[in-house]
Each structure stands twice: as structure tokens, then as C-alpha cells.
Amino acid sequence: MHHAMIMAGGSGTRLWPMSRGGRPKQMVPLVQGKSLLWHAARRLDGLVPASQQWICTGESHRSLILDDLPQLDDAQIIGEPCPRDTVNAVALTAAVLHQTDPEAVFAVLTADHLITPQDRFASCIETGFALVDENPDRMVTFGIEPTFAATGFGYVELGEPIEAHPPARRTVRFVEKPDEATAEGYLASGRFKWNSGMFVYSAAGFLDALDRFAPESAAGMREIGAAWGTPDRAAVLERVYPTLPKISVDYAIMEPASQDDRIEVCTVPMDVDWLDVGSWTAAGETMDPDADGNRAFGPARHLDSRGIVSVSEDDAHLITTIGCEDLVIVHTPKATLVCPADRVQDVKALHGLLDEEWR
């Protein structure tokens, strides 16, 4: 049976002050008045039934997500007692699915990207399902066509085509965030795609790979999985999960698997428009610009200003500027952020300097 899990556990500190501890980035209603998670769930329409959709997130966000996605039942929220990075989020989902559906094949999707059009996205995911249906030991990732020599994204190198499953290719290797010269070489070669952070696995195949490449996490997941349908579920999860090594699925599983002759790792190129909403300038790209390139979410007026991204949570609060260029201004009831557009990546560092009450 086909399932889909959306990873929604990130904190999104680069979108502070709208993204906060009680309402992380994926829950901020920034895009057409809806959250990034809402848009991620809508991409599954017609692809995976609502009853086979899952959200892996922090346990503290359970009620917030159920309010945002009323089509889901409480049992479809897989709550992490604490964040332990993506390999454990995927492994927890695999362990839960394997208990009730040993033949489960599941897509692992992200909650912080905007992807259009939906039909091309769905076609790529269906190719991923077909690849794993044919061989449950296969692992599938999805590659985004690079539009510039990005140093903030990981890359995947494409190999030979896979017969009967166009446009899938064998995966040569994964490369973490390169320097600018290396990224420019990747772009020029035409062999590299951005690593989307989305995957398709069989639950059994992923757990086998976990045994091979991340045995400490595998041991913990076996204990959690065995207790999942019992009265001890919550106690075992609370005790074991925080002890698991904190590591990404790329480092723990995909990189070693791509170099292991026993596992076929495949990449499906995604011919889509893909926006990683990981900063305020990226969020600004979801807003329509005026004639001077100013973009606004909420009330704003500008005089002789250009390239302003302004965000206000309060419809009764007007943001104004005079003679400014390339600024980001974010107003919330708790805090206001003003920074040059080329310093938005430093919001994470600023967040780290704040007292807990302001985070």
C-alpha cells in the first residue's frame, strides 16, 4: 500500500519572529493565507488517500496541525518527543507503518517547499512508487534542476537511465553543500541536481538499511516499534527516542547506500518550480511585487523605496518606508525585525542570541 509522510519537525529560525517555538515555520500562514504544511498536504490530492497520509512532527505541535489539516485523524500524527534529525523521523515512520502494513511503500516529503505544478510533482512521486514496488530494496530520491550555483543545497549526481522507468536515473553519489567553484562546475556539467530532501522507500527496506548503516538507531526503533500498539507506547517512545543519534537521513542512509552494491539508489529528476522557503527573501518570492519590486504580506506603503519585503501579522498595523532599498521588515505583536536583504541568513544567528521569552 502506498503512504506519504510529511516531515514537519523543523523550527525555522530563519523566519523569526513569525516562526516561534509554539508555531514553527511550516505552520506560519504566509502563502495565500495558508501554511506551508497546508500546501504540502494539498499536493497529495489524488496521489495518496487522506487515510494513508502521515505527519511526523514535534508532539507539542499535534493540536496545531490537526486544526490546520482537519482531514487527518489524531492517529496520523506521529509525534516526536524531541527532535532527533531526519533519519529518526523517517525511521520512526517506517517502524510505525511496518507494524500494520509490512508491505508499505511510503513517500517522505517536505513541509517547507513550494512545488508547482502539482501534476508534474505527482507524476514524479508515482515513478518513485513504481520503482520501489518493483524492487522493495530500492531507495529513491528526487532531483531538482539547478537554476544557479547554490552553495546552500546538497547535490545528487545522475548515472545511467533506468529502463522502463523514465526519467529515473541511477544515482552515482550525494554531495553536501559545495563551495561556489565546485557548484559552478556541477551546474556546467549537467549531471547534477539539487537534492530535494524527498524520498520513496519501502518500510521493510528502510529498516533493513537502518540495521546496516545506523545500528544504534535501528536498535532503538525495534524497541519503539514493538511497543507501538501497546499501552507502553508513550513510555517507550519518551525513554528511547531522545537517546538516538542525531543525524540526517542523507548522511546516515543515502550516502552510504549509494556506494553499496547491494542497494540500488535511484534519482527521479523533478521538472517543477521549486522554492525552498528558508529565509525572508525566499518568502518574499511568494508575494507579488509592485512596480518598484516591493513585496508585502499585510498593510504596507512605500515612498521612493525599492526591493522591500515587509510582513505584518496585524492587519491594523501599517509598515511604511521612505527612500529605503533592499530591506526586510517583519512586524509581530512580540517582536520586530529589520535587516538588509543580503543579511537574512543571519536571522538564525540573531535568534541564538535571544532570551527564551523572545524566541
Place of cell 523550527: 11
233-266 tens-digit pLDDT: 999 999 999 999 999 999 999 999 999 999 999 9
Whole-number Å distance between alpha carbons of 210 and 85: 14
What pLDDT is recorded for position 267? 98
**Omega into 269 within 30° of 0, i.e. cis?**
no
Q: What is the pLDDT of residues 55-70, one digit of tens each?
A: 999 999 999 999 999 9
Q: How many CB atoms lie within 10 A of CB 38?
A: 18
Average pLDDT over residues 27-35: 88
Q: Return d(Cα 177, Cα 151) in angstroms, integer.
A: 5
Q: How far apart are CA 326 and CA 310, in angstroms?
A: 10
Q: Residue 92: its pLDDT value, please?
A: 97
Mean pLDDT along residues 270-278 = 92
User: Which pLDDT does position 145 carry in this prediction?
Assistant: 93
pLDDT reported for residue 102: 94
**237: nearest Cα among 81, 62, 86:** 81
Q: At what angle do helices 203-213 and 215-227 cross, to 10 degrees?
A: 140
- Is 341 buried (19+), middle (13-18) or exposed (0-12) by CB count in 10 A? middle
Q: Transcribe 272-326 into DSSP letters.
A: SEEEE--SHHHHHTTS-B-TTS-EEES-EEEES-BS-EEEES-TT--EEEES-BS
CB 104 within 8 A of CB 202: yes
186 grid coordinates: 556541477
Selection from 321, 290, 20, 268 nearest residue 129 by Cα? 268
Residue 67's pLDDT is what?
A: 94
Q: How far apart are the first and last CA of the chain?
A: 41
Measured CA distances, 134 to 131, 253, 282, 327 (Å): 5, 21, 38, 51
DSSP string, 16-75: TTTSBTTB-GGGS--BTTB-HHHHHHHTTTTTS-GGGEEEEEEGGGHHHHHHH-TTS-GG
pLDDT tens digits for 41-51? 999 999 999 99
List, in order, residues 6 or more apart from 215 with CB less than 8 Å away: none
Domains of the chain: residue spans and CATH: 2-276 (3.90.550.10), 281-358 (no CATH)
**What is d(CA 156, CA 278) in angstroms, rounded to the nearest whole number?**
20
Q: How far is Cα 106 from Cα 205, in angstroms, rounded to an integer?
A: 11
CA gap 155, 163 in Å, rounded: 23
Neighbours of 215 (CB within 10 A): 11
